[in-house]
Structure 1
Amino acid sequence: MPETVRAREALEEPAGAPAEAPMRWVWLAAWPVTAVFALSNAATPLYVLWQRELGFSGGTLTVIFACYIAGLLGSLLVSGVLSDRFGRRPVLLPALGLALVACGVFAAAPSVAALMGARLLTGVAVGAIVSAGMAAVTDVAGPPRARLAALLASTAMVLGAGLGPLLAGVLSETLPAPARTVFAVEAVLLAAAVAVVVRMPAGRRPAPGARGFVRVPRVPRGDGRRLALGVAVFAPGITATSFVLSLGPSLLSGLLHTGNRMVAGGTAFAMFAAATGVQFAVRKLARRTILATGAAATAIAMASLVAAVRADSVGALLAAAVLAGAGQGLGQFAGLSLLNASVPPGRLAEANAAFNLGGYVPAGLLPVAAGYLGDAVGLTGGATVFGAVLGACALGGGAFVLAQEK
């Protein structure tokens, strides 16, 4: 069957089979995703504090953020294949262990090198979670609830991504020893995730005979266009939110003339709250509509970003953050749903890894380029170029999605 026809058919709901576990376990299976993604962005409100204490530039800040992306991408090369071959639990438990180690490094963080190391470990843990953790939610849910599983896995990711900086902002402003306090709380959340993984029902048997352990993740033959459709919208969306997470606190500090960490944490939370809420709002719409709307949201977000830095508008910057969150959430949900609809369970973790690889590569590269460009020509100029380039990419992704009906 031609891939264009298969891609259109993927917009329909798949037929199901009997459920594999009680509904409460489908929700609980998503908790490790939330806990690890809370760690992934918990450092965001603290960057202004570390920047003042350690004296590094905006370009260095984006490199610290990129260490996370590097760890994540390296993890994606192995975690999906290992999870499909040996099962979800043998991948998830070591990943949660690395996340706990990262908490300890963040809590001490005497240097930029320590921050880079903590971000690298966090990225490795997140790479395992987005491949094995999200696949585990689908395994526990069973085929009849595949679209619900995609919704829960996707919203667990963005909910955690927003919860982390919100907690970090509030705790670091109201309690002593900001870094130690924040990451002690994060460690408790991760410990609860370990307990869930240990007791979580196995939704399927591991797949035998996968080739190799380290390779670029891929999807089964015939699913390439589904992957491309999701990545075309998800990649610009997550790149937009990555920019807000890495340089948003600096922009807010310049516009509001304040280093209050609750403001930075609240902005990140608003961004990912939008990403969470919009997925529940559109969950019954056609996937093509969701993808097109996500591309439009990211493009408008980038126009708002340019307006914010050119006009010194806090309102426009907040609008850019919320719209960027919506763009990521819509692309992520529709992309995961497309894969869940057709990829067999024995290849699902690898397919999730391929999907996230397509999104996180530009999410790592473009904000770093914008950070160093901002050091050279000013944050306003760097953000303007970034917004224009990413807005064009989002529009291109939307055009690709709409072209599938032709």
Structure 2
Amino acid sequence: MSESRTVPAEAVDEQQPPAAGERPEVSASAAPTWWVWLAAWPVTAVFILSNAATPLYVLWQSDIGFSKGTLTVIFACYIAGLLGSLLVSGVVSDRLGRKPVLLPALALAVAACVIFATASSVVALVVARLFTGIAVGAVVSAGMAAVTDVAGPGHKRLAALLASCAMVFGAGLGPLLAGILSESVPAPTVTVFVVEIILLATAVLVVLRMPVRRPAKAAKGAWVRVPGVPHSAGRQLVLGIAVFAPGITATSFVLSLGPSLLSGLLGTTSRIVAGAMAFVMFLAATGVQFAVQKLGRRTILTAGAVSTTLGMVTLIIAVHMSSVLVLIASALLAGAGQGMGQLGGLSLLNSSVPPQRLAEANAALNVGGYVPAGILPVSAGYLSDAVGLTSGATIFGIVLMGLAVVGGLVVVAGRRRVPESA
């Protein structure tokens, strides 16, 4: 098979040239569509790990003993690792290629699984979450960019859709699998992560065979820096963060304090129920992206801001009515808000940022989203310890609702500058 002529001259194969008699590696622009779907699997596999611990915290809290505030700090260590990773992984991926970033990230994810499986202290949980965050940071920059590379210039919207859905579907599948396994098999905190190691091993095989390329010329500038985008794409980045940040902060709150809310509202510590709520939240985030993929980017972002706003309204109602059904509705709206904000942001970047800066651009979008996603839920956790879960959740909901409204207004104000389609 001959290589496509559409590959830029400044790109070279990620792997060495094939030996005589071997088939050459398929170029990124010539890869079949099924490879685009398969390239999203490493993103899914790592994001399964990202939230797999969520239903298990009740077990660790019982065995080790720690407060809701400590629980949100453990969650925040994941955010800290992710943000630290984003300062490096996007730039390194754009300079050295996707595989040199993805393979170490997958190895670190496996190490996190081993630590989770043997954890007997808060320190172990902190280290495992930190390693998980670093791995996730590498995947949201290099992994999502790899999906775009494999898709080629003719399928940028498909790449944005699959990369975004891979993230949210994995984030939802993790707690569901963990909840079911932890209730049905012995040694749940071990079995869950053994299964995840197997999934990560398959992701390694995909990365090794992935038809991606690397730049031949090294870019200039510091290797460790706050990720950014070309000046011409600055407005697109701001619009994406304006909606994505409130959305992912809302889902982060549900992940960190959702089990506590369920326990307070329903009086249950069922790990299946906690995992199922997280799963349906991210299932909504996945499904809504397929539903709105043909709409204009401005419309998608505006709808995302509205959904997050409504999610916070229903969260406040849920905690005051002690209604589990309303709480689930809040989770669904939060998931839809993150999904649309993420899809709109990634689509804008895919359409405006050149491939040699795409991983860094993805990192910039996620930095903008995960900073409030780390700060606000932690604040809500400690606030809940001080004034009660109902008051803490109410204050969080009001603050985030305000941020979502501002994000929607930013998108509406920039409607003349945001392209509606590719």
Fold-level similarity (TM above 0.5): yes
Q: Distance in 2 between matches of 1:142 and 1:347?
A: 15
Q: Quote the residue 2:252 is aligned against.
A: 242
Change (3 A) 1:171 1:206: farther
Q: Distance in 2 between matches of 1:132 and 1:405?
A: 30
Q: 1:208 aligns with which of 202, 218, 240?
A: 218
Q: Quote the residue 1:148 is aligned against.
A: 158
Q: Distance in 1 between matches of 2:111 and 2:153?
A: 35
**Is 1:276 matched up with 2:304?**
no
Give the TM-score of the pair, scaled to structure 2: 0.91
**Matched AA of 1:302:** M
**Equivalenced residues, count:** 389
Matches within 5 A, 1:108-119: 108-119=118-129
Measured after TM superposition, the shift of residue 209 of structure 1 is 2.6
**Is 1:306 matched up with 2:321?**
no
Gapped regions of structure 2 (runs ≥ 5): 1-27, 417-422
Asked if the contact 1:370–1:382 (Cα under 8 Å) also holds between the matched residues in 2, the reply is yes
Q: Quote the residue 2:327 is aligned against.
A: 317
TM-superposition CA deviations, 1:130-157 (whole Å, max 9, x none):
0000000000000100010000000000
Asked if the contact 1:297–1:326 (Cα under 8 Å) also holds between the matched residues in 2, the reply is yes
Measured after TM superposition, the shift of residue 19 of structure 1 is 3.8
Q: Distance in 1 between matches of 2:305 and 2:220?
A: 35
Change (3 A) 1:206 1:273: farther
**Is 1:69 matched up with 2:79?**
yes
Q: Distance in 1 between matches of 2:216 and 2:204?
A: 20
Q: Distance in 2 between matches of 1:252 and 1:101?
A: 31
Measured after TM superposition, the shift of residue 249 of structure 1 is 0.5
Change (3 A) 1:254 1:169: same
SS at match of 1:223: helix
Q: Distance in 1 between matches of 2:215 and 2:228?
A: 20
Measured after TM superposition, the shift of residue 221 of structure 1 is 1.2
Q: Distance in 2 between matches of 1:405 and 1:189?
A: 42
Change (3 A) 1:207 1:260: farther
TM-superposition CA deviations, 1:33-76 (whole Å, max 9, x none):
00000000000000111111111000000000000000000000
Q: Distance in 1 between matches of 2:107 and 2:280?
A: 29
Q: Quote the residue 1:326 is aligned against.
A: 336
**Matched AA of 2:169:** L
SS at match of 1:285: coil
Asked if the contact 1:233–1:398 (Cα under 8 Å) also holds between the matched residues in 2, the reply is yes
Q: Quote the residue 2:168 is aligned against.
A: 158
Change (3 A) 1:276 1:39: same
SS at match of 2:365: helix
Measured after TM superposition, the shift of residue 203 of structure 1 is 4.2
**Matched AA of 1:401:** V
TM-superposition CA deviations, 1:262-285 (whole Å, max 9, x none):
000000000000000000000000
Q: Quote the residue 2:410 is aligned against.
A: 400
**Is 1:255 matched up with 2:257?**
no
Q: Percent identity?
A: 71
TM-superposition CA deviations, 1:100-135 (whole Å, max 9, x none):
000000001100110000000000000000000000
Q: Quote the residue 1:137 is aligned against.
A: 147
Q: Quote the residue 2:44 is aligned against.
A: 34
**Matched AA of 2:274:** A
Q: Distance in 2 between matches of 1:220 and 1:381?
A: 43
Q: Quote the residue 1:5 is aligned against.
A: none
**Matched AA of 1:32:** P
Q: Distance in 1 between matches of 2:144 and 2:79?
A: 18
Matches within 5 A, 1:88-107: 88-107=98-117
Q: Quote the residue 1:169 is aligned against.
A: 179
RMSD over equivalenced CA pairs, Å: 1.0
